[in-house]
Amino acid sequence: MITRQRLAAGVCALLAALAAGITVPADAVADETTAQDAPKVDLVLDVSGSMRARDIDGGSRMAAAKQAFNEVLEATPEEVQLGIRTLGANYPGDDRKTGCKDTAQLYPVGPLNRTEAKTAVATLQPTGWTPIGPALLKAADDLDGGNGSKRIVLISDGEDTCAPLDPCEVAREIAAKGIGLTIDTLGLVPNAKLNQQLSCIAEATGGTYTSVQHKEQLSDKVNQLVDRTADRTVTPVAVDGTGQCATAPSLKSGLYTDREEFGQHRFYRVDVKPGQELRASVSVSDDRQVDPDYGVTLRALTVHGREIVRGEATGSGRTDVLSTGLRYPKAESDDEDAPAETVCLQVANSFSPAAGVKTTPGLPLELTVDVVDGPGTASDVAAFGLGRGWWLLGALVLTGFLAGLLWGWLSRWRIAVWRTN
């Protein structure tokens, strides 16, 4: 007589055999990835004498910076190699030549020991000059080597005091080396000349400039930049969008940075072949005080100006970044030699500056472009997380169906045998 245990064992054996028959090849569920080194961040802090000023939430600028650094060090992702460099921290004298060499590595770029880094920050006292240019050169050396993302975060409350070494020119030289390094700047004083200099430094490398006046805002912004470095898988490329599609730069899949004036339209072109899908997203950063109620629009247009699809986002109040995106699948063609379609991407914003806020340089934006195989292909399905698993899912459903039929047949047969006995 067939017992219940034997029935269960038989069904399990059948399922095991079926599963063995649909073993998934390793290359069907895993894509090859290129090894990438750990992301690196160098925090460059102005420790000049002016950091003694007590105008940030009732405390000194130095106290605000220390608090921000402690919070950032606590929250830094494990995979990020982080270092700290100072400028103006060690020489209190009046000799300009000596003061302009005053930059030092407080904590080396590498795996983070939070206790040691916090202890080093606690020792800082506002001291000397403001050699921003020399500090940026040294910080670039701190981050040298590796193919991971690299970022300098410069925090200062004053202009460089070591001309003729112009920090803007230093930033341009760093960008020209093509080492994939981004410089973001944060200003602690709403000063027009300081804003202009820090904006110029950031713009040269596709970074962002932010004017901060509160401790919480400073901590949040530095944390955001460190997290962005950890998430960055490609190096952004600086690009200049134009006011019309006909003269716009042609982009391929990648991450791009640009500047957009208040209320301005920026155009870019992307070629999409039949059977491919364009996926694009844009983030615009309001790196200065803006009026409430604003929006960002990303549109895909034909070269003749007809709208294909759009993405929109709106906000009200103070936010750091506003983002939106779109997708455009290009239909398959029976003609193997069918040409690619030129799609015009238009980025527009409705930000307006608050009273007295400078409108130049434009707002920093990041544009992501991805052209992939269109719907119905294996690579496209993979982008949604199932990968080549559609056929595996079908096989599992079929296995369950067959197992159900077998179980039902065996149950009926067992009942029939029991009745005859």
pLDDT of residue 411: 64
Closest CA to 185 of 216, 214, 151, 146: 151
Q: What is the pLDDT of residue 419?
A: 58
Strand, coil or helix: 372 = strand
Q: Which alpha helices (H) appear in 39-108, and where do they start and end?
A: 61-75, 96-99
Listed in sequence order, the residues at least 6 apart from 11 whose beta carbon sits closer than 8 Å to its beta carbon are 403, 406, 407, 410
Kindly report whether the peptide bond that precedes residue 361 is cis, defined as omega within 30 degrees of 0.
yes
Asked whether the whole model's pTM tops 0.85, one would answer: no
Contacts (Cβ under 8 Å, ≥6 apart) of 87: 44, 45, 46, 47, 48, 102, 103, 129, 130, 131, 132, 134, 135, 156
Q: What is the SS3 assignment for 98?
A: helix
Partner residues linked to 152 by β-bridges? 42, 183
Give CA angle at 281 (275, 212), nearest 5°: 170
Residue 357 is predicted with a pLDDT of 79
- In 10 A of CB 130, how many CB atoms? 25
d(CA 281, CA 33): 23
How many angstroms separate the CA atoms of 347 and 264, rounded?
8
β-pair partners for 269: 250, 344
List, for the chain, all residue ranges whose pLDDT scores fall below the cut of 70. 1-35, 178, 232-235, 317-321, 374-397, 400-401, 403-405, 407-408, 410-421
For residues 150 and 360, give the distance between their C-alpha atoms in angstroms, rounded to a whole number: 26
Q: How far apart are the first and last CA of the chain?
A: 10
Helix (H, G, I), strand (E, B) or coil at 229: helix
pLDDT of residue 224: 86
Strand partners, 325: 281
CA distance 79 to 30: 22
Tell me the per-residue pLDDT of 308-349, one tens digit each, with 9 for 90 and over.
999 888 877 554 667 788 889 988 887 777 899 999 999 999
The reported pLDDT for the residue numbered 358 is: 79
CB 205 within 8 A of CB 167: no
Helix (H) or strand (E) holding 315: strand 307-315
